[in-house]
Amino acid sequence: MSNMFLGRSALLLTCALGALAATGSAHAQTAPAAADGALDEIVVTAERRSENLQKVPVSVGVVQGDALRNLTAGGGDILELAARVPGLYAETTTGRIFPRFYIRGLGNIDFYLGASQPVSIIQDDVVLEHVVLKSNPVFDVNQVEVLRGPQGSLFGRNTTAGIIKFDTNRPTMDWQGRAQASYGSYNTVTFDGGIGGPIVADKLAFRVSALYQRRDDWIDNVYDGPSADGTISPKKDAMGGFEEKDVRLQLLMTPNDTLSMLTSVHARDYDGTSTIFHRAGLTKGSNSVADEPRTKIALDEAMNNPQAYKTYGASEHITLDLGPVSLTSITAYETTSGYSRGDTDGGAAADYPVNGVANGYGQSQGNVRDLDQLTQEVRLASNGDGPFKWQVGGLYFDSRDTTDFYQRAYFLTGAANNPNNWVRLRNKNESWSLFGQASYEIVPGFTLTAGGRYTKDIKQTRLVRTAASAAGVSTYAGRRNVRLKGDEPSWDVSALYEVNPNVSVYARVARGFRGPTIQGRSAVFNADFTTADSETILSGEGGIKTNFLNNRVRFNLSGFAYRVKDIQLNGNDSAGNGVLFNADKAEAYGMEAELEARPFENFSLSAGLSLLHSEIKDKNVYAQVCALNGVVVCTVEDPTITANTFFGPAQFAQIDGNPLPNAPKYTANIAARYDVPLGNGGAIFAATDWNIQGYTNFVLYKTKEFNSKGDFEGGLKIGYTAPGGKYEIAAFARNITNEKNLKGVIENYMAAVFNEPRIIGVSLSGKL
């Protein structure tokens, strides 16, 4: 990144922070503060019961629903949470249907549709495991909780990194409703709303929620030449757009005081564009993307990168109050199908000749023909506010899918396309677990909590249709049926001491594990499946949670360290195909700080900071480096060796001591809001939010090109709030400075992936 760019970024950020005195909270861009100026209490369910955030011995980041909707008003999705919650990062190189999450540096860079991620997504108490299900839009949401560190005792499946928990607005026995609509650049439209109330007083209630988002295509395909597959080019506004349509219906039945039954059904229909890779967006020796236009690209195949998915789901949440205890059952089913297609080389082959021959044809497609996930959880928990609390339960998880992978790989077949270069895989993941937790307040203000889980995780991948030559002859000699099993205990022990009503300190030690993983996509190149054994983590953290100045200021600080043994990593072979392997271990340490304040009337401020140092530790592990036609195309800064691969000799870099990929060394965010009261009881307001991201390496090995540093984005919102907050009308801007940040790479083509462009628009919101 150039010094000029860093200087400009620093200047813009400094100006933005200086403007906070006059403008104003990404975490709380909501109605004006209460008359006494005190902060609202934040209630979380990090331990499966409603508790004050300040009294929970877990590091939890919280984003309220209104704040998330402000971030997504410009057409954004859950990736908008990245860098806005300390310790959380998110990205994608496969479009909106495949988000990848990282907590405290732990995540998975693999774009394989069957990839396992160490971050779990819990939506309305239901675990969403498959990467496509994890992209289910979050709408009419009440609150988002990010539980940092290993989680295994209480929620869903085991996870070594943490949990992102989305809780939507539930039906109520009184009429409630809210909606937000916005319109902005590129005909970006967003509607997010929900309404509900009683059907039978005190017995039956409903809530219906909906999300609609769309954006016009805004990226031109400027290639003018022969196409490898009939892609129409050149074409203005060829890609970049999307249309998202979602609906959810919930019914709450309370036939008596002891029984509650919540039924929820939802549907999703998405049609859009997969990630655009800009070939040669990076030049050797630099990570600058300043010279690569974001609004145009030259693609000669993949039909302008289409992507489409349909998802349906239902759940039944039953709670029976038996007096001293409550029995809860959660049954859920999810199903999805769809595809994503992309020009993986990110450019037109004719524009990159080698010895006069077009070079770099290549496109891929993943097609989930059918995926079904069934989960059943049963939990028994104590009631009341006594000093001793406990809960025990079990979870059954079953996920099955049939997935096709297509790879038109001209570098394997010469100038002729291989029409048979695809495989069909059937994947099965079955898991069951038993868990429990107990907490005891030994003396007033001092509570010990311990939890444990035993899990058995079985994964199986079967090759149904193998890759073949252009003549239809299969040469595949690898395994056709792989079955792996992992069974491990997970546990956590924590202590929380309330020094006084405004100050609590806590400490937590936890062990988690992630089951074994199978990478079946490699069969598309007639290469064998690759696998990785289970990984385990031991983590320790401690922190302080405070309220002061008559609850006008809330400040939480945590420090952590962890070691992951047999960590699962993902590299690439010479074809850019994913390869799984275990490294001996990875170690990391860091801290997170969060501040929320209302220092004076009508002004609110929030800020967050995370610091992270991570290292891969294994002197015997190497990752294949960027190469095309046998030539290394990037500047590798690690020691390298030459080794034979399925495709011949290749260069490998030693990754010992390198940071984990997509693990920012730091992130910082700040947001503020200032309200000017009017005589009618309404107010004019200004709000702004900014985030900045430190050095982030995108791959396992170190280069001068495949990283970012100092990237930032900001938003601004100015508007009018009616008396009582009944409605709000505003103008807004997301990525207001139109920063072009590097978010990912395709190594062998020096291809760049960018963030979203600036969106300027207007919004209208209201509530019953």
What are the sequence ranges of the domains in the chain? Answer: 3-308+315-320+328-359+376-382+391-407+492-767
Please give the pLDDT value at position 498.
Answer: 96
- What percentage of residues in the chain have a pLDDT greater than 70? 92
Burial 260-290 (b: 16+ CB within 10 A, else e): bbbbbebebebbbbbbbbbbbbbeeeebbbe
Go through the chain and tell me how many residues it has. Answer: 768
Side-by-side strand order, sheet with 235-239: 235-239, 219-221, 296-297
**SS3 annotation, 179-240:** EEEEEEHHHEEEEEEEEEEEEECCCEEEEEEEEEEEECCCEEECCCCCCCCCCCCCEEEEEC
> What is the distance between the alpha carbons of residues 141 and 136, in angstroms, rounded to a whole number?
12
Pairing, β 219-221 against β 235-239: antiparallel
Please give the pLDDT value at position 561.
Answer: 98
Cis amide linkage into residue 387, ω under 30° from 0: no
Structure token digits, residue 682: 């309404």
Structure token digits, residue 541: 């953290």
Q: For the residues 229-238, what does the mean pLDDT come to?
A: 87
- The partner residues of 693 in beta bridges, in order of sequence, read 667, 711
Please give the pLDDT value at position 470.
Answer: 65
Q: Report helix, strand or coil for 642.
A: strand
Structure token digits, residue 582: 């275990």
- Which residues does 137 contact at the CB level (< 8 Å), separation at least 6? 77, 78, 211, 213, 244, 246, 268
Tell me how far CA of residue 212 lies from CA of 136, 143, 209, 298, in angstroms.
13, 20, 10, 30
- The partner residues of 561 in beta bridges, in order of sequence, read 540, 589
In DSSP notation, 686-714 reads: EEEEEEEE--EE-SSS-BSSSEE-SEEEE
| Phi (first) and psi of residue 455, to 5 degrees | -130, 140
Please give the pLDDT value at position 583.
Answer: 95
Place of tokens 């003549």: 471
Structure token digits, residue 193: 């709303």
Sign of the CA dihedral with 289 first, then 290, 291, and 295 last: positive
Least confident piece of the model among 148-157, 417-426, 591-600, 702-711: 417-426
CA-based nearest residue to 595, from 578, 581, 610, 613: 610
> What is the distance between the alpha carbons of residues 146 and 160, in angstroms, rounded to a whole number?
14
**With 70 as the cut, is the pLDDT of residue 518 above it?**
yes
CA angle 607, 608, 612 (to 5 degrees): 160
**With 60 as the cut, is the pLDDT of residue 644 above it?**
yes
- Which residues does 673 contact at the CB level (< 8 Å), separation at least 6? 23, 24, 25, 28, 29, 603, 604, 685, 686, 687
Least confident piece of the model among 111-125, 370-384, 663-677: 111-125
Span between the terminal Cα atoms of the chain, in Å:
49
Q: Report helix, strand or coil for 507.
A: strand
> What is the distance between the alpha carbons of residues 662 and 683, in angstroms, rounded to a whole number?
41
Please give the pLDDT value at position 573.
Answer: 52
Q: How confident is the model at residue 1 (pLDDT cuts 50, 70, 90)?
A: very low
> What is the distance between the alpha carbons of residues 342 and 540, in angstroms, rounded to a whole number?
42
Mean pLDDT of the chain: 90
> What is the distance between the alpha carbons of residues 765 and 67, in angstroms, rounded to a whole number?
13
Structure token digits, residue 228: 């490898």
Query: What single letter denotes the amino acid at residue 257?
Result: D
Domain covering 3-308+315-320+328-359+376-382+391-407+492-767: architecture: Beta Barrel (2.40)
**With 80 as the cut, is the pLDDT of residue 726 above it?**
yes
**SS3 annotation, 93-147:** CCCCCCCEEEECCECCCCCCCCCCCCEEEEECCEEECCCCHHHCCCCCEEEEEEE
- Which residues does 14 contact at the CB level (< 8 Å), separation at least 6? none
Please give the pLDDT value at position 422.
Answer: 83
Please give the pLDDT value at position 418.
Answer: 58
Structure token digits, residue 299: 């693609």
**With 60 as the cut, is the pLDDT of residue 574 above it?**
no
| Phi (first) and psi of residue 133, to 5 degrees | -65, -35
Burial 729-748 (b: 16+ CB within 10 A, else e): ebebbbbbbebbbbbbbbbb
Structure token digits, residue 209: 């929620």
Tell me how far CA of residue 681 lies from CA of 33, 172, 723, in angstroms.
13, 28, 5
CA-based nearest residue to 216, from 235, 243, 234: 243
> What is the distance between the alpha carbons of residues 114 and 107, in angstroms, rounded to a whole number?
14
Q: How confident is the model at residue 67 (pLDDT cuts 50, 70, 90)?
A: very high
- Which residues does 18 contact at the CB level (< 8 Å), separation at least 6? none
- What percentage of residues in the chain have a pLDDT greater than 90? 77
| Helix-, strand-, coil-residue percentages of the chain, each rounded to 5 | 10, 55, 35
| Phi (first) and psi of residue 13, to 5 degrees | -65, -40
Tell me how far CA of residue 636 lies from CA of 568, 577, 649, in angstroms.
22, 19, 17
Place of tokens 């001293």: 324
In DSSP notation, 62-100 reads: EEEHHHHHHHHTTS--GGGGTTTSTTEEEE-SS-TT--E
Structure token digits, residue 251: 């019914």
Decide: residue 669, CB within 10 A, 0-12 exposed, 13-18 middle, 19+ buried. Answer: buried
Please give the pLDDT value at position 415.
Answer: 41
**With 70 as the cut, is the pLDDT of residue 742 above it?**
yes
Side-by-side strand order, sheet with 648-654: 622-624, 648-654, 640-645
Cβ atoms of 715 and 689 closer than 8 Å = yes
Q: For the residues 392-408, what does the mean pLDDT come to?
A: 92
Q: How confident is the model at residue 707 (pLDDT cuts 50, 70, 90)?
A: very high
pTM: 0.92
Q: How confident is the model at residue 525 (pLDDT cuts 50, 70, 90)?
A: confident
